[in-house]
Amino acid sequence: MKKRILAGLLALVLLLTVAPFAMAEDKYDPLGRYEEPVTIRIMREKQNIWFPEGESIYDNVITRFIEEKLNIRFDIVWAVEDGQYGQQINGAMAINDLPDVFQVDASQLFQAYRADQIQPLQEVYDLYASEEVKEILSYNNNLFFSKSSFDGKTYGYPRTDDFASGTPIMFIRQDWLDNLNLKAPTDLESFIAVCDAFTNKDPDGNGLHDTYALAMDSAGSYNMYCRAFAHMTGNVADAWLEGEDGTLYYTDIQPETKEWLKVMQDFYAKGYISKEYISLGTDRMAYEISGGKTGIMMGYFWTALYQPQMSVIANPDAKWVAYPIPAYPDGSYHVQADNSCYSWLVVNKNFEHPEALIKLQNLWYEMWRGCYSDWYHGLNATTYAEAQEDFKYYPPFWWDPPLKNFEIGANLRKVYDSGNMDTSFIDDDPEAVKAFTVMEDYRNGNKENYYGWSHYTNNMYAWNVVEDVYGGTDPSRYMMSRSQAPMTSKIARRLPLVDSLRTESFDKIIMGADLDSTFDAFVKRWNSVGGKDLYKEYNAWYKENKNVYWPD
């Protein structure tokens, strides 16, 4: 009898010991469904997104899927006009009437943190983020979290962009090169020769002097051109780098900056750059490109989806190809890249379920690249095909795994390199299979499938440049600014001033102002209006965090 009692007690102890562990495991399930519905109050923009009849940002196939899997519902309390999201969030922060979960930039993140309006996410991230998500967001030594961490705690979930989002790629009218019997430029000397020919030697063959080389505007492409010109002269533009003494310095106040500014000034004087570039925005320049006025643009890995596509639609004979930007003077490549996280998701301090945000992001990954990706991309490839890239805007919150597009491009090139067009070995990448379908539709004769043309150009040329020339996904192969500190009051006040001064001064130089005197005046003013404060702020942070994000 005693043995039975003892055995029973041991069994009870074992049960009581195991039960908490089982409960804890279930409690922290990355995709655990809530027993009772959880409603998240949110703000959304009324973007120009295609939906099938009966669906909208309020209710669509993705929001219903989220409710089915997680029992999370969205209450769109604020539906603001397209482009007004940031302004509306600023207003909501000012009166402390905020959504439960919302997106912020670095400045808004700091303001919300300082006003005690948001809650730390480190604990719920550690408990609920899936291992796949943690591995993805740990890319480049967790640098995605650097600007959202205050006092040792993470307050923002990074909405990562592609790791190559700030890396310049050169798109050229290949038909113009062919017409003039030229090859794509590989260094500054050959770049000058091609730009001169595109400006002065009638590359389109219409008998008129009506073209210029570089599609540089004053908005989206401006910094890409600065990065490209700096690179081909052996420099780095608009970055904070570590000097020999171990402290950070700002590249654009160094004397060598004048080397690439002088080249840009010469290009402008010779008409290789539009005389009106300072008044040309991104959309206006797109019309210049589609109208056949210009033949080279410093773009991004995705650029073929925009201006070159417009050019091909307007003129089917236009042939755009992606190439590396011109190399360093010694022939090497040290291309610039960004941290590629420009916004974060935060949680209202009063919201009871901060873990819901983490679960949503886990599910989003599973839809885009994980266990539900066949279903997700299957929808986009059939019923929702018209949505194209807009499909990712169906859910209120999404993020782009930093290596996703690189992996898709690499898989697609493997298919084409195999020669037999067999996609069976990339069946675990349904997004690549989907891209292959539209690419092949274009290549097999549907010349009006411009989406397929863009995918082919991006994946076969642009990503090939990144993989074979720039350094692939290895962060150490790229030049990245080390001013990755979270926002502070001084940075928030000073950074807009010095950025505006830089653009104003460099524009003057490019358009013909005396290089030495204008640059010297810029450096002096840069220090006085805030540069010295930035130097102190960034270096104080760097001293404390260098070994965290840049370990030896």
What is residue 47's predicted lDDT score, i.e. its pLDDT? Answer: 86
What is residue 389's predicted lDDT score, i.e. its pLDDT? Answer: 80
Task: Assign domain 38-163+341-393 to a CATH class.
Answer: alpha beta
Do the domains at 38-163+341-393 and 169-334+488-549 have one common CATH topology?
yes
The Cα-based distances of 246 to 241, 465, 549 in angstroms read 9, 32, 15
Segments of the chain with pLDDT less than 70: 1-26
Phi-psi bin for 442: left (phi > 0), alpha (psi -120 to 50), beta? alpha
What is residue 202's predicted lDDT score, i.e. its pLDDT? Answer: 98
What is residue 148's predicted lDDT score, i.e. its pLDDT? Answer: 97
CB 479, CB 234: distance < 8 Å: no
In the chain, what are the domain boundaries?
Answer: 38-163+341-393, 169-334+488-549, 404-477
What is residue 12's predicted lDDT score, i.e. its pLDDT? Answer: 42
pLDDT tens profile 144-164: 999 999 998 999 999 999 999
Tell me 344's DSSP state: E
What are the beta bridge partners of residue 78? 43
What is residue 221's predicted lDDT score, i.e. its pLDDT? Answer: 80
pLDDT tens profile 343-395: 999 999 999 999 999 999 999 999 988 999 999 998 987 889 888 888 899 99
What is residue 26's predicted lDDT score, i.e. its pLDDT? Answer: 52
Query: At what angle are helices 430-443 and 373-381 packed, to 10 degrees?
Result: 20
What is residue 314's predicted lDDT score, i.e. its pLDDT? Answer: 96
CB 492, CB 110: distance < 8 Å: yes
Classified by CATH at the fold level, domain 169-334+488-549 comes out as D-Maltodextrin-Binding Protein; domain 2 (3.40.190)
Q: Which of 100, 93, 81, 91 is nearest to 42 (CA)?
A: 100
CB 32, CB 353: distance < 8 Å: no
Cα end-to-end span (Å), the chain: 65
